[in-house]
């Protein structure tokens, strides 16, 4: 018979106490699973895991749990002697930040789904956890139910990650999928995503890419052992993506996805590379891009997310699943809760922060990418050569060019090879000034191709 080591005297007379802060979309499911699965959780942890209380804003809402569990005084709940683990699912910066710090400073473990907070304050929170030998878990903060934080922190800790690219926002993927499949209206689809509990309290965070940028910052920090904050992430959202953009994408057998891309890029021009004692850099960016339909990310629809990790030795790994919603997110939160409870029981600790590499962030202008440019042009001899000349002048190599229509309705569709983002942006600006170009009707980046 194996013997378990119980370092805290935990047991029937001394259960592990949990406080849940927030009982909205995620908190409601966390509380439900915690109560419904109590017997299994007890068996998996080794001691009972007991819900001590739930902090909310509004006590009048009927939540289907005993009223004595509810409180509006989150700080007092966190500080109760019988609370050992705090689950924060309020969202936003304050009071979440102060409450988490207060828990960590008291040596209590914390589980949070709050990517907006982590993207800016992981350093501060991890330092508090380190100082007080407490756990800080946040699997649910990136891509809902999908285990991707723990694989990066633990499973791949002996490898070298080169690239992480993914669809990490369920709301925008839900919207773009509907626009692609049915030509659905943008605002109606956003309302539906909000109704289903996918969107943030302020859905601007979703549609303008802030939520994906926060997740990208977390992923890049873990992948490259470097502190990356939301301010380091280049960000564009989907609010300017039109039905015409989706049609353009379809015409070239692509769809449009909001991508989070974190990758190593070479040292800057004139700077020494790693072989000469210098440092490579990392690029972290979020934007909508054309993705070929044959690419695995193109098949990720609705509120599903997927993250592709490319590592030196493991090769390419893909993580796929439900990226938003109460129950899927609660699954990730509960997984962290069990880990934190087991650590209490056995006396271990979660791995701490690893930011030793301190890689510099490359500016977006230096990032290599491909553009798909649609131009309305005058159908006159020599226009194509002039347009091609503008690309050449900026040292942007053209992969394909196609003319559609003629007369005043002539259109040129230019797809480039990889070039520096700044060169591509300058080319587009110059094209817009050309007399023979009536308008630059769309500019979309193209990702997921090998060229």
Q: Verify binding: residue 138, ligand HSE, rule CB under 6 A.
A: no
At its nearest, how many Å lie between ligand HSE and the CB of residue 239? 15
Q: Verify binding: residue 207, ligand NDP, rule CB under 6 A.
A: no
Q: Verify binding: residue 328, ligand HSE, rule CB under 6 A.
A: no
Strand order of the β-sheet with 49-55 is 70-71, 49-55, 16-21, 85-88, 109-112, 136-137
Q: Verify binding: residue 357, ligand NDP, rule CB under 6 A.
A: no
Measure the CA–CA gap between 93 and 106, rounded to whole angstroms: 20
Q: Are 18 and 34 spatial neighbours (Cβ–Cβ below 8 Å)?
A: yes
Measure the CA–CA gap between 144 and 322, rounded to whole angstroms: 6
Note if 108 is an active site residue.
no
Which residues inside 48-67 make contact with ligand NDP, applying CB under 6 A?
Answer: 55-58, 61
Indicate which single residue of 102, 114, 122, 173 sits in contact with ligand NDP (rule: CB under 6 A).
114
User: Residue 59 corresponds to which tokens in the numbers above?
Assistant: 């006590």
Among 1-9, 288-296, 322-330, 346-354, the segment contacting ligand NDP (CB under 6 A): 322-330
User: Residue 401 corresponds to which tokens in the numbers above?
Assistant: 């060019």
Residue for token digits 């649609």?
374
Of 105, 53, 6, nearest in space to 341 by CA: 6
Among 20-28, 180-188, 239-247, 420-428, the segment contacting ligand NDP (CB under 6 A): 20-28
End-to-end, the C-alpha distance of the chain in Å comes to 58
Q: Verify binding: residue 23, ligand NDP, rule CB under 6 A.
A: yes
CB nearer ligand NDP, residue 205 or residue 377: 205
CB nearer ligand NDP, residue 193 or residue 410: 193
CB nearer ligand NDP, residue 307 or residue 396: 307
Q: Verify binding: residue 33, ligand NDP, rule CB under 6 A.
A: no
Indicate the residue whose CB is closest to ligand NDP.
Answer: 24
Measure the CA–CA gap between 137 and 2, rounded to whole angstroms: 28
CB nearer ligand NDP, residue 113 or residue 415: 113
Q: Verify binding: residue 91, ligand HSE, rule CB under 6 A.
A: no
Q: Are 193 and 199 spatial neighbours (Cβ–Cβ below 8 Å)?
A: yes
Residue 104 interacting entry, from ligand NDP, ligand HSE, none, C-beta within 5 to 8 Å by type: none
Residue 171 interacting entry, from ligand NDP, ligand HSE, none, C-beta within 5 to 8 Å by type: ligand HSE
In a 3-state reduction of DSSP, which class is residue 266? coil
Measure the CA–CA gap between 386 and 303, rounded to whole angstroms: 44
Give the length of the chain: 451
Contacts with ligand NDP, 208-247, as mask; x by CB under 6 A: ----------------------------------------
Q: Verify binding: residue 171, ligand HSE, rule CB under 6 A.
A: yes
Among 163-171, 180-188, 263-271, 311-319, the segment contacting ligand HSE (CB under 6 A): 163-171
Q: Are 261 and 165 spatial neighbours (Cβ–Cβ below 8 Å)?
A: yes
Measure the CA–CA gap between 64 and 49, rounded to whole angstroms: 20
Q: Verify binding: residue 321, ligand HSE, rule CB under 6 A.
A: no
Residue 58 interacting entry, from ligand HSE, ligand NDP, none, C-beta within 5 to 8 Å by type: ligand NDP
Q: Verify binding: residue 339, ligand NDP, rule CB under 6 A.
A: no
Residue 321 interacting entry, from ligand HSE, ligand NDP, none, C-beta within 5 to 8 Å by type: none
At its nearest, how many Å lie between ligand NDP and the CB of residue 165? 20
Indicate which single residue of 114, 169, 367, 416 sits in contact with ligand HSE (rule: CB under 6 A).
169
Q: Verify binding: residue 139, ligand NDP, rule CB under 6 A.
A: no
In a 3-state reduction of DSSP, which class is residue 353? coil
Residues contacting ligand NDP: total by CB under 6 A = 29
Per-residue buried b or exposed e for 266-278, using 16+ beta carbons within 10 Å of the residue's own CB: ebbeeeeeeeeee
Q: Verify binding: residue 93, ligand NDP, rule CB under 6 A.
A: no
Residue for token digits 């044959």?
294
Residues 6 or more apart whose Cβ sits within 8 Å of residue 177: 301, 302
Per-residue buried b or exposed e for 306-330, using 16+ beta carbons within 10 Å of the residue's own CB: bbbbbbeeeeebebbbbbbbbbbbb
Q: Are 216 and 286 spatial neighbours (Cβ–Cβ below 8 Å)?
A: yes
Extract the annotated binding site for NADPH: 115
Q: Are 203 and 194 spatial neighbours (Cβ–Cβ below 8 Å)?
A: yes
Among 195-203, 219-227, 238-246, 310-318, the segment contacting ligand HSE (CB under 6 A): 195-203
- The DSSP bridge partners found for residue 369 are 419
Instruction: Kindly list the distances between the CA atom of residue 259 and the CA atoms of 35, 164, 345, 415, in Å, as whole numbers in the listed order.
Output: 37, 10, 40, 19
CA angle 213, 192, 90 (to 5 degrees): 50
Q: Per the residue annotation, which of 215, 257, 344, 380 is the catalytic one?
A: 215
List residues binding ligand HSE (CB under 6 A). 144, 169-171, 198-200, 206, 211, 323-324
Residues that are catalytic: 215
List residues binding ligand NDP (CB under 6 A). 21-27, 55-58, 61, 74, 89-91, 95, 113-115, 140, 144, 197-198, 200-201, 324-325, 329
């Amino acid at each position: 018979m194996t013997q378990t080591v119980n370092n805290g005297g935990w047991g029937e007379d001394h259960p592990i106490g949990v406080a849940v802060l927030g009982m909205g979309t995620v908190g409601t499911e966390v509380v439900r699973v915690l109560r419904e699965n109590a017997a299994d959780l007890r068996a998996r942890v080794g001691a009972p895991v007991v819900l001590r209380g739930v902090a909310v804003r509004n006590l009048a809402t009927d939540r289907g749990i005993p009223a004595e569990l509810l409180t509006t005084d989150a700080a007092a709940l966190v500080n109760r002697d019988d609370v050992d683990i705090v689950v924060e699912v309020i969202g936003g910066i304050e009071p979440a930040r102060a409450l988490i710090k207060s828990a960590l400073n008291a040596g209590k473990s914390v589980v949070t789904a709050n990517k907006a907070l982590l993207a800016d304050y992981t350093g501060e929170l991890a330092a508090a956890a380190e100082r007080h030998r407490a756990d800080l878990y946040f699997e649910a903060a990136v891509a809902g139910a999908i285990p991707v934080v723990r694989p990066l922190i633990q499973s791949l800790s002996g490898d070298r990650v080169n690239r992480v690219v993914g669809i990490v926002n369920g709301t925008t993927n839900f919207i773009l999928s509907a626009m692609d499949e049915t030509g659905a209206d943008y605002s109606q689809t956003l309302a539906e995503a909000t109704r289903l509990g996918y969107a943030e309290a302020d859905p601007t965070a979703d549609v303008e890419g802030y939520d994906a940028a926060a997740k990208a910052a977390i992923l890049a920090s873990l992948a490259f052992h470097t502190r990356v904050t939301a301010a380091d992430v280049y960000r564009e959202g989907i609010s300017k993506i039109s039905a015409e953009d989706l049609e353009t994408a379809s015409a070239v057998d692509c769809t449009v996805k909001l991508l989070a891309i974190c990758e190593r890029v070479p040292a800057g021009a004139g700077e020494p590379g790693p072989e000469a004692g210098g440092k490579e850099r990392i690029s972290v960016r979020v934007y909508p891009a054309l993705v070929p339909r044959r690419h695995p990310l193109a098949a990720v629809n609705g509120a599903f997310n997927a993250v592709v990790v490319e590592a030196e030795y493991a090769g390419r790994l893909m993580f796929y699943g439900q990226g938003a919603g109460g129950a899927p997110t609660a699954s990730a939160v509960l997984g962290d809760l069990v880990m934190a409870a087991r650590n209490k029981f056995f006396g271990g600790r979660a791995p701490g922060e690893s930011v030793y590499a301190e890689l510099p962030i490359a500016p977006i202008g230096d990032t290599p990418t491909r553009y798909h440019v649609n131009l309305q042009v005058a159908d006159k001899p020599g226009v194509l050569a002039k347009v091609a000349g503008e690309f050449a002048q900026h040292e942007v190599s053209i992969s394909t060019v196609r003319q559609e229509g003629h007369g005043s309705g002539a259109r040129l569709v230019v797809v480039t090879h990889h070039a520096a983002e700044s060169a591509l942006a300058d080319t587009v600006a110059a094209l817009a000034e050309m007399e023979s170009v009536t308008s630059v009707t769309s500019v979309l980046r193209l990702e997921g191709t090998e060229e």
